[in-house]
Chain A
Amino acid sequence: MKINSITLLNFRQFLGEQTFVLRSDPLRPVSLIFGANGAGKTTLLNAFTWALYGSMSEDVEEQHRMVTDSVWRELPIGGTAEVAVELTFDHEGREYRLVRQAESRKESDEQQRAIPEVQLWETKPDGSSEEVGAPQERIYTILPQGVSRFFFFNGERIEKLVQKGAYGEVQQDIKVLLDLEQVERALDHLPKVDRRLTADLKKYGGQKANEIQTAIDDLRESETTQKEEQKVLEADLATLNEEREAVNELLRQHATAAPIQREREASIQDLTDARAARQQALSDRSALISSRGFIAFTDDLAKTTAEMATALYERGTLPAPLKREFVDQLLEEGRCICGASLAEHTEPWDHVLEWRQRAGLQAVETAWQQLRGQVSPIIGARKELHESLQAILKRLSTDADRVGRLEERISELDGLLKDPRMEGVEELESKRIDLDGRIGVKQQRIGSIKTALEQVQKEIAQKTTERSRAAVTDELAAKARARSDLVQSVRRALEEILAIRSEDMRQRLDAELKDVFSKITIKRYIPRLSTTFELALFQTIDGVELAVPKSTGENQILSLSFVAAVSKLAREIRKEHRAEGTLAEDAGTYPIVMDAAFGSLDQNYQREVSRALAQMAPQLVVLVSKSQGLGQVVRELMPYVSHLGVVVTHTTVEHDVSDDIELEGVAHPYIRSAAEADHSELKVIA
């Protein structure tokens, strides 16, 4: 989606009809619009969302006063006033014109909430244009309302994106944007489709097919129940983990407990590493024994073989003085090397034949030679095996010591925190222990459900194979079975695609976020997107990774980095080979429209945020005041700007409050006093 223009008609303080063209190109994707406090920057931002969804953000006051006050005041009782916003935009190869309009009939000085109507026209690539039958539905498919929070936002409130408690909604919207949600929904819906198909199989497929299908249905039911329980348990676990993190945070902040808590966290991390190292050593030992362990039992074998070979050589049996192949050749040719004829059953023939029995086979001799060649390396390999095993045993012993030491140290630190003399800490520590216990129980339960689910899935696969082999004569039933098999295959593929996409998306979003954030921040904080798409900021102190209590500014930077990363990834993924097939060139492209974009950020942050957004967003509309936008922001953004504008404030205040804004050396009206009515004017500068 790329916005081409916005036109306002009597929309709040924007008197009459006013248009601002926003069409931009990839080299200059930015439109920069200035406005004084109260000029209508937030209103302009809300004009976009009102046009798209018919709603405005919560921070807009007096939402029922849609028509410009002066227009309403002049309207006679019984008269009607029109308020409208028109958006033109391109999306996936088509042009759209969207108009949301409301008519208000004046019954008193107070405006009543008007119900707007929406219309949408679509121009196809062939130039034909038509009105879209279900305009709101189409808009939701172009940009779902939840997702719009990433693209139309107020910079001062953007930090809500990364606040605790917002994860659920944000995660859901990210899933939509990154094409995960449709896969999850398909996985929810396909079993119902399958159930409908297999009902026919049960009805017409005969007793055997019916029995198998009933068993599959039962297994599926059990699978659903267990999956639901798993979801509940995982949600409980997330809550408990959050509670434990909060307790840990309190312990970290407690003056007396802080150093102990820090050491404990470092020790716990070390313990995890030590246990992993010990496990690795055990695995290495198993791998060594399974691949080369047999060499340990070759001591006698190697020795005996070597002795045998030596004895044979000493006796002159090896190498064989006479080869059987040579004797066979003489017999076949019927002539001895001495020149005697070798006719069958004659004395010379019998004589040579007797030699055949005593001759050695070439193959046997070669085998002996090879065996001899391998005997000495076996002796060397045995020695090597012994050394490798000893090294692993040493590692195991060191790791076991380390694990033991750390376990003791952690117990000691636990004890210190339980000391009743530490005011407030004892209670926190008891709570932490309790939470640890409860988390353990949940994890165990989740583990056993996972095992049970694996078993159920195996049984389903088995029964499905049985089903495909069962004799079904009825045509309807056979068709139902084929369709059910098809649905099952697609379901399995979708399950795998979901797993692949989720991990891939998370890793890429995390990497992108780290990259953007590191370019903006002046601190050594590292953002991280967890497996559950939770955003957090960390820093490393004395080797311990600790969560950063974020300031409003840091939350804003984190959120803006997140928006930039999401925007970039949404575009990238739709250009890849995916199950949805080839998508339009601009699929996944959305504009970013930001009000008060730089919130309360310092100058250096404003500069870096401007740069990051200008380089990453395919289209950027920035609404700023003079104090926020001049200086660093203008300097950074100007090379990327294709449209420049000012929302001029016209005020009825009579004393001179007029002000200008100087852009590229030219002064433009910013505030004008002594107007006939309070209103705002959207003025195009360039």
Chain B
Amino acid sequence: MPSVVRTETDVLEELTVEERALLKRVLEIERARLHVTAADLTDDLLAAVKEVLP
């Protein structure tokens, strides 16, 4: 039987609305600061968590 290869879509579909929203926001924050290798984004990410789950 051929093995089923999991895709990014499969992973996303298994997430709840909140989880998907946070994941998207986290990647946006990280992408925007990619050029700063030493960036500490803890505060920004923490704020994103609180936005999604107030």
Interface residues in chain A, defined as those with a beta carbon under 8 Å from any beta carbon in chain B: 137, 140-141, 144-145, 176, 179, 181-183, 185-186, 189-190, 192-193, 196-197, 479, 482-483, 486-487, 489-490, 493-494, 496-497, 500-501, 576-581
Q: Which residue of B lies closest to A495 (CB)?
A: B11
B4-20: which residues lie under 8 A (CB-CB) from chain A?
Answer: 6-9, 11-12, 14-16, 18-20
CB distance from B16 to the nearest CB of A (A): 8
- Please state if A486 and B35 are interface contacts (CB–CB under 8 Å): no
Determine chain A's interface SS by DSSP, over half rule.
helix
A179 to B28, CA, bound (A): 11
B25–chain A nearest beta-carbon distance, Å:
9
The answer to whether B28 touches A181 (Cβ under 8 A) is no
Q: Mark B26-39, 1 if CB is under 8 A from A, else 0.
A: 11101110110000
Enumerate 6 A-B pairs (CB-CB under 8 Å) in ascending A order: A137-B35, A185-B34, A196-B46, A490-B26, A500-B6, A579-B23
With A196-B46, A483-B53, A496-B6 as contacts: A190 and B26 at CB distance below 8 Å:
yes
Taking a contact as CB atoms under 8 Å apart, the answer to whether A196 and B34 are in contact is no
Q: How far is the CA of A581 from the CA of B25 in the complex (A)?
A: 10
Determine whether the beta carbon of A176 is less than 8 Å from that of B27.
no
Known: A483-B53, A486-B49. A578 touches B31 (CB 8 A): no
Looking at the assembled complex, report how far the CB atom of A492 sits from the nearest CB atom of chain B, in whole angstroms.
9
Asked, given contacts A489-B15, A496-B6, whether A185 binds B30 with beta carbons under 8 Å apart, the answer is yes
| With A196-B46, A493-B15, A496-B6 as contacts: A486 and B22 at CB distance below 8 Å | yes
User: Across the interface, do B32 and A141 meet the contact criterion of CB distance under 8 Å?
Assistant: yes
B49 touches A181 (CB 8 A): no
* B interface, over-half SS: helix
Q: Decide yes or no: A493 and B23 within 8 Å by CB, A182-B34, A578-B8 being known contacts.
A: yes
- Beyond the given A186-B27, A486-B19, A579-B27, please list 15 additional residue pairs across the A-B interface where CB-CB is below 8 A: A140-B34, A141-B31, A176-B34, A183-B27, A186-B26, A196-B46, A197-B46, A486-B53, A489-B16, A497-B11, A500-B7, A578-B8, A579-B23, A580-B31, A581-B24
- Which 6 pairs across A and B sit closest by C-beta, in order of nearness? A140-B35, A182-B30, A182-B31, A192-B42, A193-B45, A185-B30
Query: How far does the Cβ of A268 sit from chain B's closest Cβ, in whole Å?
Result: 29
Question: In whole Å, how far is A351's beta carbon from the nearest beta carbon of chain B?
Answer: 60
Q: Which of A182, A490, A497, A581 is the most central at the interface, judged by chain B CB atoms within 10 Å of its CB?
A: A490
Tell me the smallest distance from the CB of B5 to a CB of chain A, in Å: 9
- The answer for the CA separation of A140 and B30 in the assembled complex, in Å, is 13
Given A483-B50, A496-B6, A579-B27 in contact, is the A490-B34 Cβ separation under 8 Å?
no
Compute how far the CA of A176 lies from the CA of B32 in the bound complex, rounded to whole angstroms. 11
Known: A196-B42, A489-B15. A577 touches B9 (CB 8 A): yes
Select B53's contact among A482, A577, A579, beta carbons within 8 Å.
A482
Is B34 within 8 A of A141, CB to CB?
yes
The residue of chain A having its C-beta at the shortest distance from the C-beta of B45 within the complex is: A193
Contacts A483-B49, A500-B7, A581-B24; A493 near B35 (Cβ below 8 A): no
**Least Cβ distance of B42 to chain A in Å?**
5
The answer, among B12, B27, B32, B52, for a CB contact under 8 Å with A486, is B52
Q: In the bound complex, what is the Cα–Cα distance between A506 and B49 (angstroms)?
A: 32
Q: Are A500 and B8 in contact (CB under 8 A)?
A: yes
> A186 CA to B8 CA in the complex, in Å?
16
- A contact residues around B8 at 8 Å (CB): 497, 500-501, 576-579
* Complex CA distance for A581 and B28, rounded to whole angstroms: 10
Known: A182-B34, A189-B41. A490 touches B7 (CB 8 A): no
Complex Cα spacing A487 to B49, Å: 8
Chain A residue contacts of B6, Cβ below 8 A: 496, 500
In the docked arrangement, what's the CA distance between A581 and B8, Å? 12
CA of A144 to CA of B30 in the docked complex: distance in angstroms? 13
A579 touching B12 in the complex, CB below 8 Å, given contacts A181-B34, A190-B26, A193-B46: yes
Chain A residues whose C-beta falls within 8 Å of the C-beta of B30 in the assembled complex: 182-183, 185-186, 189
Contacts of B9 in A (CB 8 A): 577
A369 and B27 CA atoms in complex are apart in Å by 65
Task: Give CA–CA (A182, B32) in the complex, Å.
Answer: 9
**Alpha-carbon distance A137/B33, docked complex (angstroms):** 8
- Chain B minimum-CB-distance residue to A195: B42
Q: Kindly list chain A residues whose C-beta atoms are within 8 Å of the C-beta of B7.
A: 500
Are the CB atoms of B45 and A489 closer together than 8 Å?
no
Please indicate which of the listed interface residues B8, B14, B28 has the most CB atoms of chain A within 10 Å of its own CB. B8
Q: Which residues of B contact A493 (CB under 8 A)?
A: 11-12, 14-15, 19, 23
| A418, B32: Cα distance in complex, Å | 57
B23 touches A490 (CB 8 A): yes
CB distance from B39 to the nearest CB of A (A): 8
Q: Considering residues B6, B30, B41, B42, which has the most beta carbons from chain A within 10 angstroms of its beta carbon?
A: B30
Give the chain B neighbours of A490 by CB distance below 8 A: 15, 19, 22-23, 26
Which partner residue on chain A sits nearest B18 by CB separation? Answer: A486
User: CA separation between A411 and B24, bound complex, in Å?
Assistant: 55
Distance of A496 Cα from B14 Cα, bound (Å): 12
Per the bound structure, the CA–CA distance linking A500 and B9 in Å amounts to 10
Q: Which of A144, A182, A482, A496 contacts B27 (CB 8 A)?
A: A182
- Within 8 Å by CB of B34, from A144, A494, A581, lies A144
Given the complex, which residues of B lie within 8 Å of A578, measured CB to CB? Answer: 8
Q: In the assembly, what is the distance between CA of A501 and CA of B35, in Å?
A: 21
B36–chain A nearest beta-carbon distance, Å? 8
A275 smallest CB distance to B (angstroms): 22
For B28, what are the chain A residues with a Cβ–Cβ distance below 8 Å?
580
Tell me which residues across on chain A come within 8 A of B24, comparing CB atoms: 579-581
Instruction: Tell me the bound Cα distance from A144 to B32 in angstroms.
Output: 10
Contact A580 B53 (CB under 8 A): no
A197 touches B49 (CB 8 A): yes
A-side contacts of B49, CB under 8 Å: 193, 197, 483, 486-487
The answer for the CA separation of A514 and B45 in the assembled complex, in Å, is 40
CA of A176 to CA of B28 in the docked complex: distance in angstroms? 13
Residues of A within 8 A of B27 (CB): 182-183, 186, 579-580
Q: B4 CB to closest chain A CB, in angstroms?
A: 13
- Complex Cα distance, B45 from A494, in Å, reads 14
Q: Quote the shortest CB–CB distance from A582 to chain B (angstroms).
A: 10
